[in-house]
Amino acid sequence: MNDLAIRVENLGKQYTIGTSPERYQTLRDSVANTITAPVRGFRRRFIKKEALSSAGGRGKKDSIWALRHVSFDIHKGKVIGVIGRNGAGKSTLLKILSRVTEPTEGLAEIHGRVGSLLEVGTGFHPELTGRENIYLNGAILGMKRTEIEKKFDEIVAFSEVEKFIDTPVKRYSSGMYLRLAFAVAAHLEPEILVVDEVLAVGDAEFQRKCLGKMSNVAQEGRTVLFVSHNMSAILRLTEETMVLEKGEVVMRAPSRTAVEQYLSSGYAQIGERLWTRDEIPGTAFPFYPVAVRIRDPHGRVVDTVRSVDPFTIEIEYHLESPITGLRVGIYLMTTRGEFVFTSFDTDAPDQYDEYRIRAAGKYTSRCHIPVDYLNEGSYVVGINASTYQIKRYFQDEQVLNFTVDPSGAPGMQWAEPRLGPMRPRLDWQIENTKEGAKTEATPARIDFDQNK
Amino acid sequence: MSQTTIPPNTAEEVIYLRPSHGWSALNLRDLWRYRELIYFLIWRDIKVRYKQTALGAAWAIIQPFFTMIVFTIFFGRLAGVPSEGVPYPIFSYTALLPWGLFTKALSDAGRAMISNRAMITKVYFPRLVIPIASVLSGLVDFSIAFIVLIGMIFYYNNVPGEYDPITVTPAILTLPLFILLALVTALGVGLWLSALNVKYRDINYIMPFLTQFWLFITPVAYPASMVPEEWRWLYALNPMTGVVEGFRWALLGTSSSPDPMLAISTAISILLLISGLFYFRRMERTFADMV
- Supply the ipTM of this predicted assembly: 0.82
Q: Which of residues 161-190 of A touch B (CB under 8 A)?
A: none
pLDDT in tens, B165-186: 777 788 888 899 999 999 999 9
Which of A37, A95, A108 lies closest to B288 in CB terms? A95
What type of residue is B30?
D
**Chain B contact for A43 (CB, 8 A cutoff):** no
Which of B9, B13, B21 lies closest to A113 in CB terms? B13
Distance CA B92, CA B219 (A): 9
Q: pTM for this structure?
A: 0.71
Kindly tell me if the per-residue pLDDT of B271 is higher than 70. Answer: yes
User: For residue A117, what pLDDT is reported?
Assistant: 80
Q: What are phi and psi of A89, to 5 degrees?
A: 110, 5
Mutate which: A7, A33, A102, vs B, most B CBs within 10 A? A102
Q: Specify the DSSP class assigned to residue B74.
A: I
pLDDT in tens, A73-92: 999 888 899 988 777 888 89
Whole-number Cα distances in Å, A153 to A130, A162, A174, A183, A211: 12, 9, 21, 11, 20
Does residue A171 sit in helix, strand or coil? helix
What type of residue is B149?
L
**Contact call for B123 and A141, based on CB within 8 A:** yes
**Contact call for B124 and A15, based on CB within 8 A:** no
Distance CA A149, CA A97 (A): 28
> Which of B13, B25, B14, B16 lies closest to B284 in space, CA to CA?
B25
pLDDT in tens, B18-37: 888 777 777 888 888 889 99
CA dihedral of B264, B268, B271, B277, whole degrees rounded to 10: -150
CA-based nearest residue in chain A for residue B42: A136
Q: Are the beta carbons of A139 and B37 closer than 8 angstroms?
A: yes
Kindly tell me if the per-residue pLDDT of B282 is higher than 80. Answer: yes
The sign one gets for the Cα dihedral B55, B60, B65, B67 is positive
> Which of B116, B129, B138, B130 lies closest to B33 in space, CA to CA?
B129
Nearest chain A Cα distance for residue B19, angstroms: 5
Q: A70 - beta bridge partners? A: A11
Alpha helices in chain B (DSSP H): 28-33, 35-49, 59-71, 88-115, 117-122, 129-136, 138-158, 175-199, 203-216, 232-235, 239-252, 260-290
pLDDT in tens, A291-326: 999 998 888 888 888 888 999 999 999 999 999 999
**Contact call for A119 and B122, based on CB within 8 A:** yes
Q: Are the beta carbons of B70 and B221 closer than 8 angstroms?
A: no
pLDDT in tens, B133-155: 999 998 998 999 999 999 988 88
User: For residue A151, what pLDDT is reported?
Assistant: 92
Sheet of strand A304-306, all strands in order from the earlier edge strand to the far edge: A304-306, A391-405, A377-387, A326-334, A339-344
Q: Which residue has the higher pLDDT, B253 or A231?
A: B253
Nearest chain A Cα distance for residue B60, angstroms: 20
